[in-house]
Structure 1
Amino acid sequence: MGLGGTLALASQADISIGIVFVGSCHCEPAARLAADKLGVEKGWFWCLTDSAIQPEQALYDRVVTVIQSWQPATIFAPFPEKTQPAAHSITTALVIAAVEPLNYQGTVWFYELQQQTETNYLVDISSTIDAKKTAAACYEEAQSLIPDSLGSCLELNKLHSQSLSSEISYAEAFRALPAKALILQTQGNHLFAQTKAYSDALQTLVRLHSPLISVIVRTQNRPHLLAKALQSIAAQTYAAVEAVVVNDGGDDVAAVVARFKPLISGGVQLIQHTEVRGRSAAANSGLQAAQGVWIAFLDDDDTLVPEGLARLARFIAWDKDIIYGQVQVLHMEAEPEKIRKAGVFGEPFEPDSLLLNNRIPICAYICKRELAISVGGFDEYFDFLEDWDFFYRLSRQAEVHYVQERVANYCVWGESYVTGKNSVQETTYRRRFFEKRLASFSPATAAEALQRASLNLVKTRDSKTDGLHTHYQTLMDRAEAEHASKLAHVQTAFERKAQDLEAAMAHNKSLVEANQQQHDRVLQLDADLRHVQAAYEHKIQEVEAVSKHNQSLAEVNQQLHDKMQKLEVELNTTKTQLTEKLNTTQAQLAETQAQLNATQQAIYRLHI
């Protein structure tokens, strides 16, 4: 359901589609019908229950066979999700585990099921959404949970479409990775690491097809350096690694080892010598205890780079018994920022050169354990330059392959450097090495070998001299070209600056003239300003006089107002008094009139 719309689009574009169905048998008819609805050309239907889907050889081989026979340009696999059944994650792990050994050059696309994930591609399936629904409907009778799952899937498709144009209503999301990038992320366990079922399954499959490499670490009274060495082993991108720590009579390091046991895929063995037995004996103890088909050596003061063993292990299938790479020399300091690089060990193998010197550190290579045992391990007669003697004997019994990539760091602490601090000891063991070699040669054979070694040394010296001369000449030519280029650049810059200076001077002249005009204008404006200021002061005086006049008028007005209010009061009082007198008079008149009327009536009666 996670990619039904995309499959339908591919079918419409006449792209051949093959699917591998892994599920229960009662779902197979529905799966076949759904595949037919989507236009699938080829199908592999494996009836397996979820519990039967495991990271095992048989199922892995079936996946490899399908990829080899179909040779797809693109592989689709479920995006491992913590909330999904473990079978989905294991299926994806089976696919990814098959990619590197098959040297697959295509792209792997991881599709979502019912949960939004980290994606980098969206595919518009608006035109094929009906085909997707029709295919999903084939499962309804076989599995009742499918309708709900389809609903969740369609909701997710709608959600993704919201980040696209408004015409798009459904989109399927994918995370696509080229095979090369996929392999690198898988080796570093950076891909889907949060999904435990996937990580566990992938590690199981990788170990199934990756021979175990045992890294033998010799140590003595340097627990802090031992921890750094073990940390570099724990950080390896190669999956099948075991550490074998040999403590040569030193203080107890069990606590240090215990910290790293869960961090190193193949675990950590601790071999404890009760007394100091020497460097060669320590290496032999580790060699005997190692469980790996392949072995590597790492002294406690050196470190592996994270991809170191993986870079060497890529050539295990080339039928090589000894594989070595480049080693960076580092002058170590307590402060990381003060660590200095000091050259690199690493050049194509010259067998006869080993008669004169060893330029391949013990941490540079892996070899088959059975080969190391067959040559007798380390010669315990050597407690110094033992790695030279051991590698010489290895190289005489098997083919050596050089990988031009960095695999380890040779860490120089204090005064130690490559062959150690004691020149007397070095001379002693060099003589011992030469005596041992001469004992195995006839005089003529020894002379021929030394002649070849000398010629190789001269050839190497001449080659390096020629290289240095060429490099010096190249540097000189480059310096001359850079000098000429810089001179031309300086001359051009000087001419440009001169032109710029002339232009600046002309510009400055115009600025001076403009400034003079501005100065004259400022003087005129200053005179105008003084005139305006005088007029303003005059106006202020007039305004003050008017203000005083207005103030006196206001005072007179106030006095008149007060008088008018007083007159008004007096008027009102007089009016009241007159009204009262009028009323009294009117009453008296009325009374007089009444008396008059009464008198007239009396006179009238008397007259009658």
Structure 2
Amino acid sequence: MIKERDIIAFEVTKIPVGQRVLVFAPHADDETIGCGGTITLLTQAGNPVKIINVTDGRTGDFSKRYDPQEYVQIRQNELRAAAQILGTTDVEFWDYRCESLHITTELIERCLECFYTFQPQLVLCPAPTEIHPDHRTTAHLVWETASQLSFPVHIWFYETLTPIRPNTLIDITSVIDRKKRALQAFPSQLAENHYERILGLNEYRTLSLIQDKYRYAEAFWAVNTAMDHYPSLAQVYLQQQQVDVIHKVKTGPQVSIIVRTKNRPHLLAEALQSIVNQTYSQIEVVIVNDGGNPIDDLLETFRPALEIRLVTHEKSGGEAKAASSGLKHARGKYLMFLDDDDLLYPEHCEILVDFLEHHDLEVAYTDTCCAFYERDTESGDYRLKEKKVIFSNDFDRSAMLFENLTPIMCVMFSNVILQHVPNFSEDIDIYDDWDFWVRVSRKFDFQHLRVVTSEYRIFTDRQGAYAHDNSPKRDYWLGYAFEKHRHLITGMDHVAYQRQIQAKIRRYESRIEELEQQVSALRDHAQTLEDFAIRVRRTLPFKIYQFFRDLWK
């Protein structure tokens, strides 16, 4: 159970010392609005602070007073000036198009490179409950990147347009004038917005603090990725109790999400919560309970937020039969599957519906992040071990005959498909989705969107045994699925698949070379630090050396 003091801050948190700090600002000014006072205190304490400005901010010119490219340059210059007031000159501009920011494999790789190069211990970024889509995407970006790191970081989510429920407060009373000056460094934005009003929120944040000396504070939701109960981003939504403020698209065609489940109520609850968190609202959920225990009480807790229809199998018929039952009861224009052990990120449905509505295609799919959970044999709990993007394949009709395209929840398709492929083949027990996609691909093209919008969860025990292991049963059904469609394979299909494999190998080799260069740079940096430590030990008295050694640790 989450304790009150984990949700509400009654005391101020001291500014950390001796840490490298990375600040993510979706737009030039977010860093000053959300954590300008904290940045000032961090730089005053001697902490190196680097600001990443993620988007170009070109859509902020509501009055259309500037040429777009000129406006981008103006906003960059304003951020440089504000950052200097806050105490840092280390600002990096990524220039992704404003209001078009999505999680892609390229963006995650760029962010990983930034993390490994800068080696931050503390990361500041907007909260995932913010209204603006760029803010939410930046939160997701930082979260996904942090989960793939080989070292832990502290993440402090800050607030701009949407107040959070903080567990960390930083007293900025002593530097409030510096924050005011930094806010004044954005004249292009002051013409459109009243930035001084954010100070009212900073003043309000001292309400839970007992002493009168605190006049202004900045609020954060702090998470340590090294802790044993490191939550998923869906759990952060729950902890913040802010799912009601997520901006939802209220118009559009209905989407049917088919959820197959059996005796996994805790995982099912997390999957359903990820549907609640969708920014797209025109959703019905068809839940197929395939011979499991009753789940009516659980579903009642979600009915206020979701349109749910329950299909119950008295006896388990397997995944394929459950999928066919879901398709039979679905009424949406677009359909998709979400198994009870996987999660959708908030913009999943919105991205896919928007694409399918504006293109002459019936099937589209996004990328997913594979999350590996390891079971603690003592407590029995599963804990996140690592995350990485594995499935990111462009559509290739030939390659699909040799391997599955992508996990099932990545794909959204029109109900027109069902006129040609009405159901899953119940003669196959595993890889039923692969069989379905092969049959669909004979008549329809698929479009790959390089955006990470879901989480494919894989659970292991301490010995490394996967729930999705290479057991004889799985091998049998893999061979069965291949044999079923072998008659479709031509010589050119073999050639096309071979070329695709060769292209993947070249990409992996290139990535390995990049990682080797990064490792070499880190070794050089470590050697420099070690040489410095040796020089310090030789020149300082032993007690002073002990003090700095303990401080370093």
Q: Output the TM-score relative to the length of structure 2.
A: 0.49
TM-score (ref. length: structure 1): 0.45
